[in-house]
Structure 1
Amino acid sequence: MKLLFIENRHKTFLYEPITEHLKKLGHEVHWLIQNKQFLPSAKTNVHIISYPKKKDTIERKDNGVEKVIISDRQVNHFEIKDQSHFYYYDRKIEAILLSIQPDFVFGESTSFHELLAIKNCKNHNVLYLNPSTCRYPIGRFSFYKYDTLEPYLGSDEKLTNEEANELIDQIVYRKTAPDYMRLSPASKFETLKDKIKKTYAYINGEKYNTPNPLIKYKLEKQKKKNRLNWDTNAVNKVIKSTKFKILYPLQMQPEANLDVWGRPYRDQNELIRQIVENLPKDVTLYVKPNPKSKYELSTELIDVVTKSENCVALHHCTKMDAILPDIDLVITVTGTIAIECVLDNKPVATLVKTINNTAENCKYLFNLEEELKKIIKDVELDVFPKIDNQEKINFINRLNETSYKGIVSDPWTDLNSISDQNILNMVSAFKSVLGNS
């Protein structure tokens, strides 16, 4: 089979040892490279897209490209103004795709060139798979189709009831955490080298996924101020009262979790406004920041929360397990909290439909304005669905069956990702997918 892998900085070096195994099995491996500083060691079938030499003239806008622009972190956070490069890369990626005619394309769904690759794969009926953590069970990942959270195939492995019950207990009582929270990162020296490498790439023309260092410095300074301002007006616990209490845990940005998979709700300022506007008077919305909050914590968001009478900011030091028992309903776009709520029978509603909504006690909010009040009323009347222990076991097994053993990360973020055993696990998963096509 012909396989095309999309470069994604350090993730390239997780894919590389996997591709060496796949080549030995007879597969023809190709690479599409956007950032020339992160080249694989392969000498053949490496398709490097040159950086644009001048601004392109956009003769006619393309809805698919414009959709990618909406999710782009450079546009949304790093003040990039000219958008002609999206159209330049769109043409180049399509030409490479048509030239190779791959059977599968593998890559993330984060950077603009990956999203353009996804757009072109859809147009030309090529399956694009994004290997990414399934969050729970830990040490596992799924192949997600295109730019969605829809898993493709899976190992069909089932946990015994005993194993499932133990895992449920660990998740509910927070004795474990997803892989992305249990990292073994690079040293400070390696981190410094990486910053130099990215700056060098920027100077040499890679201005499309690499932020302007001065703008990033300015944003980092503002981020620190925003954290302080947020915590100044925040409380560290849920206020005891008879009021109905909703929790919205902020999702970090820029991240594919929200910017891509939750694209319609990527503006969290507007989302919180909408939630507040649709709350009955006796309902309070608590907004919890991620302990490592990034650019989602904007001055505008602080303004929205502080000026809303029925909205309360929670302090960065507030622990989820300390407040969740006092919360009546959780709302999230694509957060891991949904899985935790399902297994704890805590009422939860998501704004994007995922595998988590196969659990009866995880409701998909198709229309916030029409459905939120009804869900609140169902919780108040104690008619919001609850699931029994066997249904919890079935749910955790759905996650297990649609995933594979392996840690998807990169050697800069987590050195465990390129251990011999993990590479063997990853190769086994790839073989399963390719063998079932």
Structure 2
Amino acid sequence: MSYCFIANYHLTPLQIEIARRIEQEGTSCVFVTVNNRLAQEIAEAGWAGERLLHLTFDPEGSEPEFNEVAICYNDLLVADRALRYTPEAGLHFLYRSARKLRDFFELHDVRFVFSEPTWAHERLAAALCAASGRRTFLTPFTIRYPSGRFAFFKNGDQDRLYPIGSSSLGEPTQTLVDIANSPPPSYLKRNDQLLKQARTISARIGRLRRFITRERIDPRDPTHIQSRWHTLQTKGGEEIKRILYRFVSRQAVDQELLQTPFVLYAMHKQPESSIDVLGRYYDDQSALLLAIWRSLPSGWNLLVKEHTNAIGDRAPSFYRNLQRWPGLRFIDEKTPMPMLLERTQAVFTVSGTVAYEAALKGIPAFTFAPMFFNQFDRCQRITIDDLRTSRNIAELIETLPPANAATNDIVASEILRNSFAGRFTDIVSDPTVLDPTNIEDLMAGFRELKRAAGLSGIA
């Protein structure tokens, strides 16, 4: 019996350290990677030969279709921000990877696969695990509120936490009120620091140099855009759109605006797994905003807050085409979220943290992707059809049950019971994740997972 980690760039050092600790406690670990540099790092750390599977991309390769398991290859392909540029070669890569992953998992009797659900090969592994009936794909990831805790999310989405049940770590003591009043996730402050660094002249020169030298491009890595033209379109386009964003009209939020009934939509960075993977089929945010706007009651506004990480993702025409609709207003992206939540009639998002924050405060919230915080009574997953069949958004809000503190306390307690102290993230987002105290916190969670899965006596 073994565990498998799918290496993911800056997350890999943490994955290696956790795998090392797991092996010290008697459970074998293996690795999968798609990157040559990471393959070397993992091999140097002790995982080489049959214990490391290196999947490679061949733009000229051909592979017969793999149909032993029902897999939506087209879905995997279109959501992948690199393979979508080479769809034919991308499909052949996925067919070949499906065979290799299946054989690798069988060879090592893999029980758990730990991975992000971002890239097509990661989601392919999730599909193979689901079809196996005896392997589980898990994503160790922050639960966002309260900050500094993570859980194991099942099957590549964030709608279900792996059930731990009665934990040997003790029962949670925080209440719904405690969580609602907790500070914002710590990664938000670090994101702001990284954004500030990325906008410096030296950072821009560095990105230009890397584009010219291609020093970080692995020609066999499916997550790298191989075409210089496509790279220039995406990366160069981002730089231009980031400069042009200063000319996009955004409305300052004043008391007059807050006194008019409004609903709030929080934009997603795109491409990003939160919208392209978790929010698949709802990834056209322009169409989604128009669908929400057309369902507004007369006299209501739709306030749209851009994601600070997403400045440069969208051309000025994106904003202009939407701003021509009366009452659809893009607001200053630096507007404090608590001020908006205090006055909004409801929050709309595809899968964003803002809905969780609203749910904790009893504010009506709607997501288009299934999320674990939809368990709160005022946070509901909806579809475009719900917007179409409701008289308007006011009626949609009225269908929500009144906030029930006792019920929501139970939901909050279940989230805490099935999550653990610890920060499972990459070393760029949080350079302290390799600190011994955090590693020990994370290991406590992995031990609880093994116990809950009934594997404690199995090496």
TM-score after normalising by structure 1 = 0.86
1:161-215 CA deviation, whole Å, 9 max, x = no partner?
6x65443223xxxxx111421439899999969x969943415432534575534
Residues 159 and 102 of structure 1: is their aligned pair in 2 closer, same or farther, counting only changes over 3 Å?
Answer: closer
Partner Cα distance (2:282, 2:271) in 1: 13
> Considering only aligned residues, what root-mean-square deviation do their CA atoms show, in Å?
3.2
Q: 359, 368, 393: which is aligned to 1:342?
A: 359
Residues 127 and 234 of structure 1: is their aligned pair in 2 closer, same or farther, counting only changes over 3 Å?
Answer: same
Aligned counterpart, 1:151: 161
**Secondary structure of residue in 2 paired with 1:331:** strand
Residue 330 of structure 1, CA deviation: 1.0
Aligned counterpart, 1:112: 120
1:143-166 CA deviation, whole Å, 9 max, x = no partner?
0111111100247554336x6544
Partner Cα distance (2:318, 2:64) in 1: 34
Partner Cα distance (1:299, 1:226) in 2: 7
Q: How does 1:204-223 map to 2 (within 5 A)?
A: 204-209=219-224, 213-223=231-241
> Could you tell me whether the CA contact under 8 Å between 1:233 and 1:306 is conserved in 2?
no
Aligned counterpart, 2:426: 410
- Alignment pair present for 1:261 and 2:278: yes
> Could you tell me whether the CA contact under 8 Å between 1:18 and 1:427 is conserved in 2?
yes
**Secondary structure of residue in 2 paired with 1:423:** helix
**Secondary structure of residue in 2 paired with 1:240:** helix
| Range with bigger deviation, 132-141 or 149-158 | 149-158
> Could you tell me whether the CA contact under 8 Å between 2:366 and 2:382 is conserved in 1?
yes
- Alignment pair present for 1:54 and 2:60: yes
> Could you tell me whether the CA contact under 8 Å between 1:347 and 1:362 is conserved in 2?
yes
Q: How does 1:219-234 map to 2 (within 5 A)?
A: 219-230=237-248, 232-234=249-251
Partner Cα distance (1:273, 1:58) in 2: 42
Q: 58, 64, 71: which is aligned to 2:79?
A: 71
Q: 378, 387, 398: which is aligned to 2:414?
A: 398
Q: How does 1:98-137 map to 2 (within 5 A)?
A: 98-125=106-133, 126-137=135-146
Partner Cα distance (1:269, 1:378) in 2: 21
- Alignment pair present for 1:202 and 2:253: no
- Alignment pair present for 1:252 and 2:261: no
Q: For residue 159 of structure 1, what is the amino acid of its counterpart?
A: P
Q: For residue 155 of structure 2, what is the amino acid of its counterpart?
A: Y
Residues 60 and 118 of structure 1: is their aligned pair in 2 closer, same or farther, counting only changes over 3 Å?
Answer: closer
Q: 40, 46, 49: which is aligned to 1:42?
A: 46
How many residues of Structure 1 are paired with residues of Structure 2 in the alignment? 425
Aligned counterpart, 1:274: 291
1:98-143 CA deviation, whole Å, 9 max, x = no partner?
3333111111111222111112222223211110111111111110
**Secondary structure of residue in 2 paired with 1:258:** helix
| Range with bigger deviation, 128-137 or 38-47 | 38-47
Aligned counterpart, 2:380: 363
**Secondary structure of residue in 1 paired with 2:56:** coil
Residue 295 of structure 1, CA deviation: 5.6
- Alignment pair present for 1:421 and 2:434: no
Partner Cα distance (1:124, 1:54) in 2: 30
Residues 261 and 297 of structure 1: is their aligned pair in 2 closer, same or farther, counting only changes over 3 Å?
Answer: same
Aligned counterpart, 2:19: 19
1:322-371 CA deviation, whole Å, 9 max, x = no partner?
33333211111211112211222222122223232222121221433345
Aligned counterpart, 1:434: 450
> Could you tell me whether the CA contact under 8 Å between 1:134 and 1:141 is conserved in 2?
yes
**Structure 1: 5+ residue stretches without partners:** 171-175
Residues 165 and 243 of structure 1: is their aligned pair in 2 closer, same or farther, counting only changes over 3 Å?
Answer: closer
Partner Cα distance (1:288, 1:131) in 2: 28
TM-score after normalising by structure 2 = 0.82
Q: For residue 411 of structure 1, what is the amino acid of its counterpart?
A: I
- Alignment pair present for 1:160 and 2:155: no
Partner Cα distance (1:107, 1:405) in 2: 19
> Could you tell me whether the CA contact under 8 Å between 2:297 and 2:394 is conserved in 1?
no
**Secondary structure of residue in 1 paired with 2:190:** coil
| Range with bigger deviation, 370-379 or 136-145 | 370-379
Q: For residue 431 of structure 1, what is the amino acid of its counterpart?
A: R
**Secondary structure of residue in 2 paired with 1:404:** strand
Residues 134 and 209 of structure 1: is their aligned pair in 2 closer, same or farther, counting only changes over 3 Å?
Answer: farther
| Range with bigger deviation, 17-26 or 269-278 | 269-278
> Could you tell me whether the CA contact under 8 Å between 2:117 and 2:156 is conserved in 1?
yes
Partner Cα distance (1:58, 1:309) in 2: 52
Partner Cα distance (1:240, 1:19) in 2: 52
